[in-house]
A and B are shown apart, each in its own frame.
Chain A
Amino acid sequence: MADLQGVDMAVLTQALRRRWRRDAMVTAVTALSAGAASDTFAVDVALNEELRSLIFQRSPSGGPVEGALPKYVQARLQRRVQEHGLPVAEVVCILEPEDRLGQGFLMQRVAGESLAPKYLRDDTFAPARAVMAQQCGSILARLHALPTDLFKDLPLARASTTDQIARLEAMYRGFDVDLPVFELAFSWLKRHVPPPVGTALVHGDFRSGNFLVQPAEGIVAVLDWELAHIGDPLEDLGWLCVNSWRFGNWRLPVGGFGDREDLYAAYQAAGGHIDRPAMWFWEIYGTLRWGLSCLQLAHQHLSGSVVSVERAAIGRRVSETEIDLLHLIDKGTI
């Protein structure tokens, strides 16, 4: 993690009074994480009659990752998806430049476990794990069923699968590294582009680690909408099955907690369409995409834009995606 810049409580109080409630008083700000796409803080707010727990999310100091939405777009998208019944934290207010807090927004803090190793291993979460693959299938089917017209006023990327591959390849070429396995994966992907099963709002980062999980209920909120775009909906299902998000539980391909068949069945039961050869493609695409993210994060360290031992070390996770790509291309699954 890169270092988090502090947030001034008085400045945040002023912003909340301007944008949300005139009786707001920030009583505590705690840095939670500095991710590739966001810096995240827990914010406690006292109102006249009650206490509220919020999350403040803003663009990271090193700049957002490739393809990430500006925070005000992410916030408006989250709001709209939540209004249509998906499990998303309610956006409280969107900050403006005059608030002097960077690009960001505040949302309700939903209670739940976000650390995947915890909900994947603790016995208390066993009931959650039993239902999460089905939940993922039905959440994604409902998301993908939303008409894309709902989002037409938001500047979301809209690209064909071929264009998405080209964008990844341009990013790879920009790093000026020689990775034969990535070359092989690009060659494979270009030969296996599936016909799209439809055009939908794709979450873009729907995976273990981006859910809030309750021990008995399972997934109560889906986080991190900054990579949302319009595209082939099966991208979300493939990404969810990438080996890195199984956190070692490789026998449970859906996020380390479930089976593909349960995911697919729930997706289809809720109106989604599954194309099995396309799933192979999207798992390979997702694995390569994660490999490129590792390269990008390591590049931030090497170029000096975000100097961090974590960013440096993540460069050595590229080989994990290489071995997964070879296994996927060779065996057809992982």
Chain B
Amino acid sequence: MAIPNAVDLVQAVRRFLEQEIAHDLKGRKAFHAKVAANALAIVERELSHNLPLIEREAYGALLGRQGSAKALRQALCAAIRDGALDDRSPGVLDALKAVTVARMAVDNPKYSTFLRMTSR
């Protein structure tokens, strides 16, 4: 508890950029400082989400097999590329939505389509 973990460190650097650095800069450098802080916010969220697990579960159930997230992702890409699966195949859209929504929660949880697809 007393030792800052990766999330604590990244968060500290992000706040430093947002609260102390961005204010002192102008123009393109201020813009880049904001982009940098936003990139660290993505890292913070990624560290506390287990995206590979979500991919393994969603793609594993769809393809009816087990494997690493990368192996399953590649197999799914190949199946779509070869025409074995497409958007009309049962479960495909749902599996892709589950993974993409989870990814959006890391990449940009303010994005309009993410908010539309997650609010009921």
Listed in ascending order, the chain A residues whose CB lies under 8 Å from chain B are 1, 31, 178-181, 183-184, 186-188, 191, 243, 246, 248, 250, 309-310, 312-313, 316-317, 319-320, 322-324, 326-327, 329-330, 334
Q: Once the chains bind, are B35 and A187 in contact (CB under 8 Å)? A: no
Please name all residues of chain B whose beta carbon is closer than 8 Å to the beta carbon of A317 when the two chains form the complex.
107-108
In the complex, 11 of the A-B residue pairs with CB atoms within 8 angstroms, ordered by the A residue number, are A178-B70, A178-B73, A180-B77, A184-B80, A187-B83, A187-B87, A312-B39, A322-B96, A323-B104, A323-B117, A330-B97
**CA of A313 to CA of B114, assembled, Å:** 18
Does B32 touch A at the CB level, under 8 Å? yes
**CA of A179 to CA of B96, assembled, Å:** 10
Does B42 touch A at the CB level, under 8 Å? yes
Q: Once the chains bind, are A329 and B87 in contact (CB under 8 Å)? A: yes
Q: Once the chains bind, are A330 and B107 in contact (CB under 8 Å)? A: no
Give min CB distance, A248 to chain B, whole Å. 6
Please name all residues of chain B whose beta carbon is closer than 8 Å to the beta carbon of A179 when the two chains form the complex.
77
Tell me which of A31, A309, A319 contacts B35 (CB under 8 A): A309
The proximity string for B residues 99-120 relative to A, scoring 1 for CB distances below 8 Å and 0 otherwise, is 1110110011001111011000
Please name all residues of chain A whose beta carbon is closer than 8 Å to the beta carbon of B10 when the two chains form the complex.
none
Q: For B97, B104, B107, which residue has the most chain A Cβ atoms within 10 angstroms? A: B107
Please name all residues of chain B whose beta carbon is closer than 8 Å to the beta carbon of A178 when the two chains form the complex.
70, 73-74, 77
Please name all residues of chain B whose beta carbon is closer than 8 Å to the beta carbon of A181 when the two chains form the complex.
96, 100
Using A309-B39, A310-B32 as known contacts, say yes or no to A184 and B96 having CB atoms under 8 A apart: yes
Q: Once the chains bind, are B86 and A323 in contact (CB under 8 Å)? A: no
Total chain B interface residues with beta-carbon distance under 8 A: 36
Q: Once the chains bind, are B96 and A250 in contact (CB under 8 Å)? A: no
Q: Once the chains bind, are A323 and B28 in contact (CB under 8 Å)? A: no
Does B92 touch A at the CB level, under 8 Å? yes
Q: Once the chains bind, are A310 and B35 in contact (CB under 8 Å)? A: yes
Does B53 touch A at the CB level, under 8 Å? no
Give min CB distance, B110 to chain A, whole Å. 8
Q: Once the chains bind, are A313 and B35 in contact (CB under 8 Å)? A: yes
List 5 tightest A-B contacts by C-beta distance, closest first. A183-B80, A250-B112, A316-B107, A319-B107, A319-B103
**CA of A11 to CA of B92, assembled, Å:** 59
Within 8 A of A (CB), among B56-115: 59, 70, 73-74, 76-77, 80-81, 83, 86-87, 92-93, 96-97, 99-101, 103-104, 107-108, 111-114
Please name all residues of chain A whose beta carbon is closer than 8 Å to the beta carbon of B31 when the two chains form the complex.
1
Please name all residues of chain B whose beta carbon is closer than 8 Å to the beta carbon of A322 when the two chains form the complex.
96, 100, 103
Given contacts A179-B77, A184-B86, A320-B111, 14 further A-B contacts (CB under 8 A): A1-B32, A178-B74, A180-B59, A180-B77, A180-B99, A181-B96, A183-B81, A243-B113, A250-B113, A316-B107, A319-B100, A319-B107, A326-B97, A330-B93
Using A309-B39, A313-B39, A320-B111 as known contacts, say yes or no to A180 and B104 having CB atoms under 8 A apart: no
Q: Once the chains bind, are B114 and A323 in contact (CB under 8 Å)? A: yes
Q: Once the chains bind, are A319 and B108 in contact (CB under 8 Å)? A: yes
Give min CB distance, B14 to chain A, whole Å. 13
Does B36 touch A at the CB level, under 8 Å? yes
**CA of A181 to CA of B97, assembled, Å:** 9
Please name all residues of chain A whose beta carbon is closer than 8 Å to the beta carbon of B83 when the two chains form the complex.
187
Q: Once the chains bind, are B100 and A323 in contact (CB under 8 Å)? A: yes
Does B11 touch A at the CB level, under 8 Å? no
Using A178-B73, A178-B77, A250-B116 as known contacts, say yes or no to A188 and B86 having CB atoms under 8 A apart: yes
Please name all residues of chain B whose beta carbon is closer than 8 Å to the beta carbon of A184 when the two chains form the complex.
80, 86-87, 92, 96
Give min CB distance, B51 to chain A, whole Å. 10
Give min CB distance, A251 to chain B, whole Å. 9
Using A187-B86, A316-B42, A323-B101 as known contacts, say yes or no to A180 and B96 having CB atoms under 8 A apart: yes
**CA of A39 to CA of B106, assembled, Å:** 32
Please name all residues of chain B whose beta carbon is closer than 8 Å to the beta carbon of A183 when the two chains form the complex.
76-77, 80-81
Q: Once the chains bind, are B96 and A243 in contact (CB under 8 Å)? A: no
Please name all residues of chain B whose beta carbon is closer than 8 Å to the beta carbon of A250 when the two chains form the complex.
112-113, 116
